[in-house]
Amino acid sequence: MMNILVTGGDGQLATCIKDIASNELNFIYTDYLALDITCLSSLESFFKAHPIAYCINCAAYTAVDEAESHPKAAFNINETGAKNLALVCKKHDTILIHISTDFVFDGTKSTPYTELDSPNPLGVYGASKLQGEKHIQSILSKYFIIRTSWLYSEHGKNFVKTMLRLFQERDLVKVVDDQIGSPTYAGDLALFIHRIIALKSPHYGLYHFSNLGATTWYGFAKAIRALSKSNTEVVAVPTSEFPTKALRPSYSVLDMTNTQEVFGIEIESWEKRLSKVVSRCH
């Protein structure tokens, strides 16, 4: 049976992978206590003890604002960790599936970003993730880098669950309306990853994956409110009303054309997928 390592094993994407995991594959889930990807010797020991066919790297420093104050920690996990995994995967002929982010872009475009567009991150988080991508591309030939955006699910902490909680606690919620992106259900990303493995796809490289369509955080919140049948008022505000340490791209919609063509998949709209998730959470 093929062994598949999933780092960041307690996060929402890893949990979604666990939800759909095939019995024909042996998934090994590790958190940072069980396997520290910033320590190359620990990775070496682990890979020697376990033959790994695929490594799905869900481990990341994702606290966007905290990264501005703790750049060393962000780069250690997002850059050094990715580089270490690439080195050990190359040595053991393991295929690496690495999760990256729309935050590698600066948001100055007004049309969806393709895999050929030049990254230009605005903050430490995006910069550290981009450096991780570059190491993987320079070290490995057998890799899949998947950039995704606005990830949510019925698991962990995310925007949908936060909104559902606030709708129960408050009469009014303010949400920014000048950042545009594509909400992505982590379960759909998990299915895409599973498909790559099931097909034993030889189409290595960089891909974008999100649910189809675009909205603002305000539009996203309004859709969640409607589905939850809440009476809470949702008010649109500019980003300037919620100043943060890290700048966010004002537009980070990802182009799905290449991903759909290469892998022959149909991707659901964010609205259609959201309705299913809210019904499970609510």
Residue 67 is assigned to a structural domain of this protein: yes
Report pLDDT for 9.
93
* pLDDT < 70 stretches in the chain: 282
Q: Which of 233, 250, 244, 218 is nearest to 102 (CA)?
A: 250
User: Is 125 annotated as catalytic?
Assistant: yes
Residue 99 is assigned to a structural domain of this protein: yes
**Tokens for 269?**
């709209």
Q: Which amino acid is at 270?
A: W
Q: Which of 245, 142, 157, 248 is nearest to 197 (CA)?
A: 142
Report pLDDT for 22.
78
102 Cβ contact list (under 8 Å, min separation 6): 113, 147, 148, 149, 150, 181, 210, 249, 252, 254
224: part of which helix (H) or strand (E)? helix 217-228
CA atoms of 106 and 103, how far apart (whole Å): 7
**Tokens for 159?**
């925007």
CA atoms of 48 and 33, how far apart (whole Å): 18
**Tokens for 16?**
């979604």
Active-site residue, selected from the candidate residues 125, 143, 185, 251: 125
Residue 169 is assigned to a structural domain of this protein: no
Tell me the three state secondary structure of residue 42: helix
Report pLDDT for 24.
83
CATH number of the domain encompassing residue 264: 3.40.50.720
Instruction: Note down the domain range covering 205.
Output: 2-158+183-212+256-268
Report pLDDT for 279.
86
Residue 243 is assigned to a structural domain of this protein: no
Residue 110 is assigned to a structural domain of this protein: yes
**Greatest pairwise CA separation for the chain in angstroms:** 56
Residue 279 is assigned to a structural domain of this protein: no
Cβ atoms of 209 and 184 closer than 8 Å: yes
HSE at residue 243, side-chain half, CA atoms within 13 A, is 0
Cβ atoms of 232 and 173 closer than 8 Å: yes
Report pLDDT for 1.
82
Cβ atoms of 150 and 184 closer than 8 Å: yes
Number of domains in the chain: 1
Q: Strands of the chain (E only): list them.
A: 2-7, 25-30, 54-57, 95-101, 143-148, 151-152, 172-176, 180-181, 184-185, 205-208, 215-216, 233-237
* Phi-psi label, residue 202: left if phi above 0, alpha if psi -120 to 50, beta otherwise: alpha
Residue 241 is assigned to a structural domain of this protein: no
Summary mean pLDDT of the chain: 95
Report pLDDT for 268.
94
pLDDT per position as a tens digit, 26-83: 999 999 889 999 999 999 999 999 999 999 999 999 999 999 999 999 999 999 999 9
List phi, psi (to 5°) of 177: -125, 15
HSE at residue 258, side-chain half, CA atoms within 13 A, is 17
Tell me the pTM: 0.96
121 Cβ contact list (under 8 Å, min separation 6): 103, 104, 105, 106, 127, 129, 130
Residue 33 is assigned to a structural domain of this protein: yes
